[in-house]
Structure 1
Amino acid sequence: MKAVQKKALLAATVLALSLDTAATAQAQIRVTEVAPWGSSASNPAIPYATDWFELTNFGSSDISISGWKMDDSSNGSAKVSLVGISTIKAGESVIFTETAASASFLSTWFGANAPAGLQIGTYTGSGVGLSQSGDAVNIYNASNVLQANVVFGASDATSPYQTFDNAIGLNNTTITQLSVVGVNGAFAAANHAIEIGSPGSIAAVPEPESYVLALAALGLFGVMARKRQQR
């Protein structure tokens, strides 16, 4: 087989493998931010008076979350429904508050400049609540299969109140990083500057498919370079 034909075959093989891997990568929902102090912070109190967390779709396609549920460290024994949001678009971050407070939440964090289209849902229900002394967020699909989980320790008890930042999308793990202004899109709330977080947005993180294609390209270039050296 001629060298040119070998290169073409190699390129086609690598591309096919990378596309096959990319095709199997489904939309991935991750818990990317948690504020367990919203309902209990004092001196001064949080205006919207509710805990909240953020979900982000790290995949390349929209995903329906109809029928999805959440639980805290009860780990599935006290699941409650996620209400008010039916679909999370690829790359989108959405907010779920423990009680309905969307208008106050938006005003507190963004003033008159709330992001267009930011979705805010709720997860109200008996037996579920995020504790400042340490807790967890578990996300289940409509079939009650665990999709995302983070555990966190004691959170802020005094101002400035910093959310737990999981912008990199760690899953099934303990998160400890607190939001810092200017890092991963975090900022001080427009009308309550002692709150620090990035509700509804995170720093850009490459999708899984991007890693696959990048690695495939590097592998192809490496093989071709070796072929040239062997001539």
Structure 2
Amino acid sequence: MQSARPFSAPSALSALVALLAFASAPAQAQLKITEVSAWSSGNSAYGADWFELTNFGNSALSLVGWTMDDNSNGTAKVALTGITSIGAGESVIFTEKAVTASFLNTWFAALAPAGLQIGLYVGAGVGLSTGGDAVNVFDASGTLKARVEFGASSTAAPLRTFDNAAGLNNSPISQLSVVGVNGAFLSADGQEIGSPGLIAAAVPEPESYALMLAGLGLLAAVARKRTR
């Protein structure tokens, strides 16, 4: 009967080092459209629809050259401007016209979060409808990176944004913001409910979990061998 091949601690350690080196490589960003307000242009103090983009990955991502579209699905794309990059775990806002001061005052009054980035999507043919619409975001090469659809928006006060904290992608969203849920709050003027610019926690990539578990397994095997 052939004896079992002895376990080699050095080889296991080498494999562990290789795994950890691979795990330390920058992970790809995971961009999601996490909030949409399609009623703001005609029903808010600042008069501009907006959407929120969140990077759930653990690496920053350049937004230079990126575009968006509504349910035209790419036939009427307009540029995303004013924000050049989105950090790991960061949420940014894009409004349909330049209303930064009014937007911040309406939602936060004098308590606007430091570092909140607000960009623009300005151009003919793109507008978010209260009757239902979509938001599509494309990278500089024209590849679709994030998409949501939504139904009709209620224009009864307090106005509620569509909340996609669940991170659904290429999918309809219908959940409305509720005070105290997913960071949503009543705006400073008391007319709107949402969570614009709420900073999300960076979410490790699935591969990171797998590599971490594999590394722990190798360490345990080495420890058992040495004990024997």
TM class by shorter chain equals 0.7 to 0.9
Q: 3-state SS of the aligned residue for 1:196?
A: strand
Equivalences, count: 220
User: Matched residues in 2 for 1:39 and 1:146: separation?
Assistant: 25
Checking the alignment, whether the CA contact within 8 Å between 1:132 and 1:156 is kept in structure 2 is: yes
**Structure 2: stretches of 5+ with no match in the other structure:** none
Q: 3-state SS of the aligned residue for 1:40?
A: helix
Deviations 1:178-217 (A, max 9, x none): 1111111111111x22311111114435231xx4333444
**Structure 1: stretches of 5+ with no match in the other structure:** none
Give the drift of 1:19. Answer: 5.4
Pair 160,2 (structure 1): closer, same or farther in 2 beyond 3 Å: same
Which amino acid is 1:58 matched to? F
Pair 221,79 (structure 1): closer, same or farther in 2 beyond 3 Å: same
Give the drift of 1:67. Answer: 1.2
Deviations 1:44-98 (A, max 9, x none): xx11011000111122222111111100000000000111111111211110001
Alignment-derived partner of residue 99 in structure 1: 97
Q: 3-state SS of the aligned residue for 2:106?
A: helix
Greater Cα radius of gyration, structure 1 or 2: 2
User: Matched residues in 1 for 2:12 and 2:173: separation?
Assistant: 42
User: Matched residues in 1 for 2:196 and 2:183: separation?
Assistant: 9
Structure 2 matches for 1:185-224, cutoff 5 A? 185-190=183-188, 192-204=189-201, 206-208=203-205, 211-218=206-213, 224=220
Deviations 1:97-124 (A, max 9, x none): 0111000000011110111111111101
Quote the sequence identity (%): 56
- Alignment counterpart, residue 165 of structure 1, candidates 163, 166, 184: 163
Checking the alignment, whether the CA contact within 8 Å between 1:70 and 1:79 is kept in structure 2 is: yes
Pair 67,141 (structure 1): closer, same or farther in 2 beyond 3 Å: same
Which amino acid is 1:130 matched to? L
User: Matched residues in 1 for 2:90 and 2:217: separation?
Assistant: 35
Checking the alignment, whether the CA contact within 8 Å between 1:36 and 1:130 is kept in structure 2 is: yes
For the aligned residues, what is the CA RMSD? 2.5
Alignment-derived partner of residue 28 in structure 1: 30
Structure 2 matches for 1:76-225, cutoff 5 A? 76-190=74-188, 192-204=189-201, 206-208=203-205, 211-218=206-213, 224=220
Pair 205,196 (structure 1): closer, same or farther in 2 beyond 3 Å: farther
Checking the alignment, whether the CA contact within 8 Å between 1:15 and 1:216 is kept in structure 2 is: no
Which amino acid is 1:137 matched to? V
